[in-house]
Chains A and B, each alone.
Chain A
Amino acid sequence: EADIYQTPRYLVIGTGKKITLECSQTMGHDKMYWYQQDPGMELHLIHYSYGVNSTEKGDLSSESTVSRIRTEHFPLTLESARPSHTSQYLCASSGPGTGELFFGEGSRLTVL
């Protein structure tokens, strides 16, 4: 079983609020990722990190930002949430070599 945790699982907030989605893994993986997934839709990579102090934008443009100060922690922040940010956000990590991604349970965000 994967040891990657996301909080909160569910969040309902008003427009303009700042939110941070937390993601932590205890596997010592260098690589971590954030995907966005709308209901019934495909996964889109929005951010990734290859290690501490390394962050890159993914294929899907996102107004969110990420940081990687510690290996195990990869939080995602929205400075001013809008209804268009309503989605499920999935965090993942991977170790060296195999390419296997371990996913968290997801954070389902609703912006009113």
Chain B
Amino acid sequence: QKEVEQDPGPLSVPEGAIVSLNCTYSNSAFQYFMWYRQYSRKGPELLMYTYSSGNKEDGRFTAQVDKSSKYISLFIRDSQPSDSATYLCGSGFGNAGNMLTFGGGTRLMVKP
């Protein structure tokens, strides 16, 4: 079993839709949870960062962590064609040298 799992997609939605991207993880010791966005032929860029359980909102993006069910979510409101990318979730320990374990990524396509 992979430590962090994501549905690879692709997920295709119309412009303006609310998008829900999800990850599950198996290691209950993970403390940091991150979402990265990766455009084609580019390096990943950090989108959202949360520590432990709870919600975090930044503009159209909301990250949600439920440690009891080991479930990580990213919600995108009013999705735009420019949101079309691969979204990677990553989890890590607090003191393990910032080592992150990534899911395989979900490819999102937002159609105008």
Contacts and interface: CB of A to CB of B under 8 A. Distances in A.
Q: Do A and B bind each other?
A: yes
Interface of A: 2, 6, 31, 40-43, 45, 48, 50, 90, 92, 94, 98-106, 108
Nearest to A101: B100
Interface of B: 8, 32, 34, 36, 41-46, 49, 88, 90, 92, 94, 97-100, 102-105, 107
B98 A42 contact: no
B44 to A, nearest CB: 5
Nearest to B107: A40
Given A43-B88, A90-B44, A106-B43, A101 B107 contact: no
A43 B34 contact: no
Nearest to A50: B97
A99 B41 contact: no
Which of A41, A43, A92, A99 has most B Cβ within 10 Å? A99
B32 A99 contact: yes
Contacts, number: 57
A17 B44 CA distance: 29
A105 B94 CA distance: 26
A71 to B, nearest CB: 15
B46 A101 contact: yes
Contacts of B8: 40
Given A99-B34, A101-B46, A31 B98 contact: yes
A108 B46 CA distance: 21
Contact of A90 (B34, B43, B104, B105): B43
A101 B44 CA distance: 9
14 contacts: A2-B45, A6-B43, A40-B107, A41-B104, A43-B88, A43-B102, A90-B44, A92-B43, A94-B98, A99-B32, A100-B49, A101-B36, A101-B98, A103-B45
